[in-house]
Amino acid sequence: MDAVDVIRTKRDRKALSDDQIDWVIDAYVRGEVADEQMAALAMAILLNGMDQGELARWTDAMIRSGERMDFSTLDRPTVDKHSTGGVGDKITLPLAPLVAACGAAVPQLSGRGLGHTGGTLDKLESIPGWRARLSNAEMLRVLRDVGAVICAAGEGLAPADRKLYALRDVTGTVESIPLIASSIMSKKIAEGTSALVLDVKVGSGAFMKNLDDARALAETMVRLGVDHGLRTRALLTDMSTPLGRTVGNALEVREAVEVLAGGGPRDVVELTLALAREMLSAAGLEGKDPADALADGSAMDVWRRMIAAQGGDPDASLPTARETHTVTAPATGVLTRLDAYAVGVAAWRLGAGRARKEDPVQAAAGVELHAKPGDRVRAGQPLLTLHTDTPERFPRALEALAGAYEITENPVGFTPSPLVLDRIGA
């Protein structure tokens, strides 16, 4: 076959055949299809979509590009969680040890930042010594000894997705529902976990901007999971405002540890517990309330053991930025809007994310939020603090924040959006 013919098929709004899909995925992994050709195909898919048959075959081809993992030797049920990506979304960090403390095994394969959204692995790498890359044997050992592991997908697990994931980040094709669904579900199905809970974000800071698109993505992924024998359910959650009070790598790790210590922002705690209860239910473990595991310190114990098992020092100081810049409230009143997308772009421009797939990220870069929608603020008080090691980045970050927040003197009938918007699946 020829890559150009495959690109033309989708460009012209026709369905790709099974043979075309099988060939282009395999040829891309082998290097026969170049990045620029796959980028063109990804853009054609973003613009013209895929039908259910195409999507199922594309996902299967990505799974078959590598190996399948097996956790059948573990003495506890396995359950995983995946977020479609948000701003300030550090939920995985407290969630994995929390669910493990309640009796499940959590093989959490995570990724790096995509566009304006943060990556769990980038965050954890701000902990001195922590390793994202583990062999399958190491991953299984940590799961058996600790109960939770957060790591990168192995080289042999859906290698087609690993290549395409990095390409989508730098070619403006992240938002495609078929590419998001197949990326997530190919890894999760190949991973071999027995249950999966999806956190599908909706709002300005998410890739799905409206509830209908988010629901379509959630239903697509739940269907793919169930069809492959994976117990799958999804929560639709609000991402119009950043989660928590920090956006960035080390900043978010610090906040996640606060949650594990029994504190932390209310919205982060609320979503962590909501997802933990879904995961425990999907795994058939409904006897223990995850709130108790936060309160009694058992979740923190698992966190410390998990970080140490992956080479990290849970007691080490986290990096802090060399430079900060504070944005103050221009008026007195109630903060009624704080746009998640704008804050995510600002953090990205400060160095928390990457513009090219080979770019490094700054561990200490990001944005600290001193107020959230619904809070009353006074003119001149700190609203946001920008963190970076390279102060020449401040002007462009400030450009991203222009018009990102609104303060109303006497808002009538204003209430912040609920965090959990809907639930998909059994």
111 lies in the same domain as 222:
yes
Please count the structural domains in the chain.
Answer: 3
Of residues 419 and 162, more confidently modeled: 419
Among 256, 283, 316, give the residue marking a domain's end. 316
Kindly report the backbone phi and psi dihedral angles of residue 201, in degrees, each rounded to the nearest multiple of 5, phi listed first. Answer: -80, 145
91 lies in the same domain as 27:
no
Give me the domain span that covers residue 344.
Answer: 323-408
170 lies in the same domain as 280:
yes
Q: Where are the alpha helices (DSSP H) in 115-210?
A: 120-124, 136-146, 159-169, 177-191
Q: What's the pLDDT tens digit per position in 273-312?
A: 999 999 999 999 988 899 999 999 999 999 999 999 999 9
141 lies in the same domain as 101:
yes
The answer to the question of residue 417 being in a domain is no
161 lies in the same domain as 235:
yes
The whole-chain average pLDDT of the chain stands at: 94
229 lies in the same domain as 296:
yes
**Mean pLDDT confidence for 70-93:** 94
25 lies in the same domain as 152:
no
38 lies in the same domain as 90:
no
- For 136-260, strand residue ranges (E) read 148-151, 195-202, 231-238, 246-248
89 lies in the same domain as 226:
yes
The answer to the question of residue 421 being in a domain is no
Q: Which residues pair with 366 in a beta bridge?
A: 248, 387
The answer to the question of residue 58 being in a domain is no
Q: Which residues are catalytic?
A: 82, 161, 168, 183, 187
Which of 221, 226, 219 lies closest to 282, judged by CA? 226
Predicted confidence band of residue 140 (pLDDT cuts 50, 70, 90) = very high
310 lies in the same domain as 331:
no
176 lies in the same domain as 309:
yes
Among 316, 350, 380, give the residue marking a domain's end. 316
The answer to the question of residue 75 being in a domain is no
What proportion of the chain, given as a percentage, has pLDDT over 70?
A: 99
147 lies in the same domain as 166:
yes
Q: What's the pLDDT tens digit per position in 32-48?
A: 999 999 999 999 999 99
Q: Is pLDDT above 70 for 182? A: yes
Q: What's the pLDDT tens digit per position in 356-399?
A: 767 789 999 999 999 999 999 999 999 999 999 999 999 999 99
Q: What's the pLDDT tens digit per position in 322-354?
A: 999 999 999 999 999 999 999 999 999 999 988
CATH of the domain at 295: 3.40.1030.10
Which of 353, 360, 367, 362 lies closest to 169, judged by CA? 353
